[in-house]
Amino acid sequence: MNIIEALETPELFGSLIKDQGTFANWKVFLRALFGLPMKEDQIKTFEKFTGREKPPTSQAKEAYLIAGRRSGKSFMGAIIGCYLALFKDWRRFLSPGEQAFIMTIAADRRQAGVVFGYIKGILSLRPWTAGKRRIIQKEMTEEIQLSNGVTISVKTCDLRTLRGFTVVAAILDEASFWRSEGYANPDVEIIRALRPALATIPGSMLIALSSPYMRAGIMYEIYRDRFGKDDPDVLVWKAPTRAMNPTVDQAIIDKALRDDFAAGQAEWLGEFRADLETFLDLDLIESCVVPGRRELAPISGVSYFGFCDPSGGRGDAMTLSIVHVDKNKIIQDALRIKNPPFDPAQAAAEFSQTLKNYGLSEVTGDKYAGGWVENAFRENGITYRAAEKNKSEIYLEFLPLLAQGRVELLDDKKLVAELRGLERRTRSGGRDSVDHGPGGHDDIANATAGCCVLVQESPNKILVWRAYSKWPPWPGG
């Protein structure tokens, strides 16, 4: 039974669809994905959303579907995953006792829970629960083991959790929005890790489904390089929300476009945003990192500077960066990170001790909304001063310091990942803004950039210059 037949059979996947007519374009996508025959009107739909002239006649090895919000991507990903688990016999490719994994990889635990809910709903249908035909052998928090030797696993986009599995299918949900604390390009690195595992299993598939975001990352790169190309192995499909789900109210889309046209285009019309770009190139960041340098001990007679990004102890980390200048270099000496949950008062006490170790009696930091910050540091003998510049201004002044090679950063994966995750938004008639992307963090990046910019602007730099009369002029000095 092919996937279209399963989708249209009332006792199977068809029982989950109220109106088959609303899934017309999804069925064309599935026909293209599995190389199934198409009628004339279906070929026209295929041409419209792929830019190709000839529909494929064989199953794709990789597929990238770019569609707007509420188009049904996560549900369709669950359908494809369950179809491959239930209707394909993978055992002939496995060694005795080996388990085949169908992995659905999501941006975060919340999104993973949504996908897992769809999968459990599909597997709860009567054909797979009745009597001796019961397919579920064991159900766990993030995995369902089936009696046919297949395990359906839902994971977040963390490369460390994906190794060592025999993967027969990988379904990547909302890959444009993946963020990882330990990896600068989680989408690229995860796909790079999955391809060798998939290559050993005939008929295996990699399917990425996502709304578009900025013009960067694997989804955009694949669209840019492969859309419209007659490649039998790779299918690229791009469509607006209502093309895939006509039940979405047009009035909602119209309002979103009026409120923020650039965001509305991406969220509902399936267009990559032209007003966003990656702020820092990975090669530039890595050129400023000193490999293997985790921390530098305090040196007597050296003037240090500290910058703190405070937090209330729940959603974000609280971070501290300390730097000093040596000739024409801003050198990062220490980085402290308190991941939530934590006691803010205890974090302030620990950071204060670190500052004192480096001979500091004051620290600069964000204008944090909570009034406890200044008091917490004062109680530990440290003066907390609010930064004059906002976060965007700090990042925009941090960029030329990196570009000129004036900064030496500690070798910290989370720092590199956060710097890489910064996004620049172009504003019409105003200065650009810089911030982390959806689901990301920039606590470590903010403390690091703030510290470097603080050194550049500190009036104390004049005193330091006198000790190094051979230094070239400081930027802006």
Lowest-confidence range among 221-230, 301-310, 449-458? Answer: 449-458
In the chain, % of residues over pLDDT 90: 64
Beta bridge partners of 67: 239
Angle at 384 between CA 380 and CA 388, to 5 degrees: 175
pLDDT mean over 204-208? 96
Look at residue 224 and tell me whether its pLDDT is greater than 90: yes
Predicted pLDDT of residue 291:
96
Q: Considering the entire predicted model, what is its pTM?
A: 0.77
Predicted pLDDT of residue 458:
66
Mean pLDDT comparison of 235-239, 364-368, 384-388, highest-scoring range: 235-239
Domains and CATH numbers, the chain: 3-245 (3.40.50.300), 282-467 (3.30.420.240)
208 or 196, higher pLDDT: 208
pLDDT mean over 196-222? 91
Confidence of residue 415 (pLDDT cuts 50, 70, 90): very high
Look at residue 297 and tell me whether its pLDDT is greater than 70: yes
Confidence of residue 197 (pLDDT cuts 50, 70, 90): confident
Predicted pLDDT of residue 205:
95
In the chain, % of residues over pLDDT 70: 92
Predicted pLDDT of residue 463:
33
Predicted pLDDT of residue 180:
64
Provide φ and ψ at 331, rounded to 5°.
-110, 125
| Torsion-angle region of 151 (φ positive above 0: left; ψ -120 to 50: alpha; else: beta) | beta
Look at residue 465 and tell me whether its pLDDT is greater than 60: no
Beta bridge partners of 101: 151, 167
Is there a contact between 66 and 212 (Cβ–Cβ < 8 Å)? Answer: yes
Lowest-confidence range among 95-99, 285-289, 333-337? Answer: 95-99
Look at residue 177 and tell me whether its pLDDT is greater than 90: no
Residue 132: both structure tokens together: 């001796």
pLDDT mean over 40-56? 96
Is there a contact between 262 and 433 (Cβ–Cβ < 8 Å)? Answer: no
Mean pLDDT comparison of 24-33, 152-161, 200-209, 280-289, highest-scoring range: 24-33
| Relative orientation angle of helices 24-34 and 73-87, to the nearest 10 degrees | 40
Predicted pLDDT of residue 20:
92
Confidence of residue 368 (pLDDT cuts 50, 70, 90): confident
Question: Each residue of 322-361: pLDDT tens digit?
Answer: 999 998 899 999 999 999 999 999 999 999 999 999 999 9
Look at residue 19 and tell me whether its pLDDT is greater than 50: yes
Beta bridge partners of 214: 273
Cβ-based neighbours of 82, under 8 Å, separated by 6 or more = 13, 119, 122, 123, 152
Task: Share the mean pLDDT of the chain.
Answer: 88
pLDDT mean over 79-94? 92
Predicted pLDDT of residue 131:
63
Predicted pLDDT of residue 1:
92
Confidence of residue 364 (pLDDT cuts 50, 70, 90): very high
Residue 342: both structure tokens together: 């934590």
Look at residue 133 and tell me whether its pLDDT is greater than 80: no
- SS3 per residue for the chain: CCHHHHHHCCCCHHHHCCCHHHHHHHHHHHHHHHCCCCCHHHHHHHHHHHCCCCCCCCCCCEEEEEECCCCCHHHHHHHHHHHHHHHCCCHHHCCCCCCEEEEEEECCHHHHHHHHHHHHHHHCCHHHCCHHHCCEEEECCCEEEECCCEEEEEEECCHHHCCCCEEEEEEEECHHHCCCCCCCCHHHHHHHHHHHHHHCCCCCEEEEEECCCECCCHHHHHHHHHCCCCCCCEEEEEECHHHHCCCCCHHHHHHHHHHCHHHHHHHHCCCCECCEEECCCHHHHHHHECCCCCCCCCCCCCCEEEEEECCCCCCCCEEEEEEEEECCEEEEEEEEEECCCCCHHHHHHHHHHHHHHCCCCEEEECCCCCCHHHHHHHCCCCEEEECCCCHHHHHHHHHHHHHCCCEEECCCHHHHHHHHCEEEECCCCCCCEEEECCCCCCHHHHHHHHHHHHHHHCCCHHHHHHHCCCCCCCCCC
pLDDT mean over 159-188? 79
How far from the centroid of its chain's Cα atoms is residue 188's Cα? Answer: 10
pLDDT mean over 12-21? 91
